[in-house]
Structure 1
Amino acid sequence: MTPLRPAPPESVAEALSELARIGPFFTITVGAADGPWRPVGHAYAEGMPHLIAARAVRYGTSELRIAASIVQLGHAAHLWALALGCAVAHGIVPDLGDLDQEAEGAGLRLSEPRGWFAPGHDRLPPLLYRVVMDEHLAPLAAGLRVKVAAGLLHGNAASALAEAACDLAKARPDLRVSVTDVAQRLLGMGGLRGRGEFTGPDLAFRRRTCCLYYRVPGAVRCGDCSLDRKAG
């Protein structure tokens, strides 16, 4: 198999900078930055307790599994936005292996912009799956101190992928076909398989597990909630 071609750091940095125009989930700090940061792997190993505790307080719930689910969902959405967005919009897959996280927050940083030129049609989805699912979401799931079902977390990952794809397609309608193709193939892989499907050309998504957000006091069901399907 032909090795991946490294992309010049300046090209990776430029792609990430342009991607940030889409919205906060597509934004990442590159290079030196104020404040304490730490390798995101350390946060995974600890289960991100500071973010989960803060989210539980914000939601007014004692059910930490709800907070853990939503923290993982948000983190997954950020990762998918960066990886999928760069790959489809700029032809570059960012190397997120040395990702840092804010010590007291959820912000992400790359001290050095590295990545690869996006490989061909058949090789791109497996690479994106490895970058996001294997290298990040799997160790986060393993480190959670709160019991959350694996199927729920995989469903969150699928929903986050769909959200990133939808946001990217709205921002760049010229990329809708490419975004849909890559996202569809990712949804047929590994832990994402069978977790949900697109229900229309606008990339509306229906998941098959629930993220638990509906259990937050005063909350309503998410737009892609599986419970609506069951109720119907």
Structure 2
Amino acid sequence: MNIAAQLSEIACYGEFFAITVGGDATGWRAVQRCYADGCEDLIDTTADRYRTTDRRIGASTVQLSHATRLWSPVLACALAHGIVPDLTYLYRKDDGTALRLAEAVAAPVAPTADALYHVVVQQHLEPMADGLRIKLARGLLYGNAASALVAASRALIAQRPDLRDAAVALTESLLATGKLAGTGTIIGSGLRFRRRSCCLYYRVSGGAKCHDCGLTKTAEAPHLL
């Protein structure tokens, strides 16, 4: 099933929902190659931008941003169209974080929490974590994945309030799936989330703790690429 039309529609929801389809492959590289290389180029760029010598901050920020770029279109496709995009052959912009598919097809699975967890966490975020050359606790990385999931769901609800109940239910199911279980807590109704780890952004000069940080109750916005 070709899902180019569905991907084009959800791209209107915001930058993190957009995946380029087709076109010239020049300037793009396979994400699996990026994972094997430890995403060193983006980590260096991010650390330089934040003027920090602590490359753990760069690595955490890159992983959190990439997780959001994965969860956003996957959630939108699942909830708005009842499909799961096949992200097996995914590409990343050479000089940035944008994503591309040579062909837009749906995975032959129902859009369940297990299916979405497999596509995002097992196919992408775990290989990415395995390739990192910078030591980061797995709890932090899974916490980032959970934080990105909730952020993506909230962004989707902002664009499609009619999907709110389904989005909350699917997000809660995902937060109880695999390694995402125990990464944080949904507080009250809706998607107020408190994670049990920290993305390290507060260590940047002038940085702050994010709105869902386990270290504080200060309400600040997360910082993504």
Show the 5 A alignment for 1:41-190.
41-116=32-107, 119=110, 124-190=112-178
**Partner-residue secondary structure (3-state), 1:92:** coil
* Ranges of 4+ aligned residues in structure 1 off by more than 6 Å: none
The answer to which of 146-155 and 101-110 deviates more is: 101-110
TM-score by length of 2: 0.93
Corresponding residue for 1:197? 185
Provide structure 2 residue ranges, at least 5 long, that are not aligned to the other structure: 219-225
CA shift, 1:71, in A, is: 0.3
Corresponding residue for 2:221? none
Mapped partners of 2:61, 2:109: distance in 1: 30
Mapped partners of 2:79, 2:112: distance in 1: 10
Q: Does the CA-based 8 Å contact 1:210-1:225 persist in structure 2?
A: yes
CA shift, 1:199, in A, is: 1.7
CA shift, 1:33, in A, is: 3.5
Query: What amino acid is the match of 2:153?
Result: A
Q: Does the CA-based 8 Å contact 1:28-1:108 persist in structure 2?
A: yes
Mapped partners of 2:193, 2:129: distance in 1: 23
Corresponding residue for 1:17? 8
**Partner-residue secondary structure (3-state), 1:109:** strand
Query: What amino acid is the match of 2:132?
Result: L
Query: What amino acid is the match of 1:53?
Result: D
**Partner-residue secondary structure (3-state), 2:13:** coil
Compared with structure 1, are the counterparts of its residues 117 and 166 closer, same or farther at alpha carbon in structure 2 (3 Å cutoff)? Answer: farther
CA RMSD in angstroms, aligned pairs only: 1.5
CA shift, 1:118, in A, is: 5.9
CA shift, 1:156, in A, is: 0.1
CA shift, 1:92, in A, is: 1.2
The alignment covers a number of residue pairs equal to: 218
**Partner-residue secondary structure (3-state), 1:94:** coil
Q: Does the CA-based 8 Å contact 2:77-2:85 persist in structure 1?
A: yes
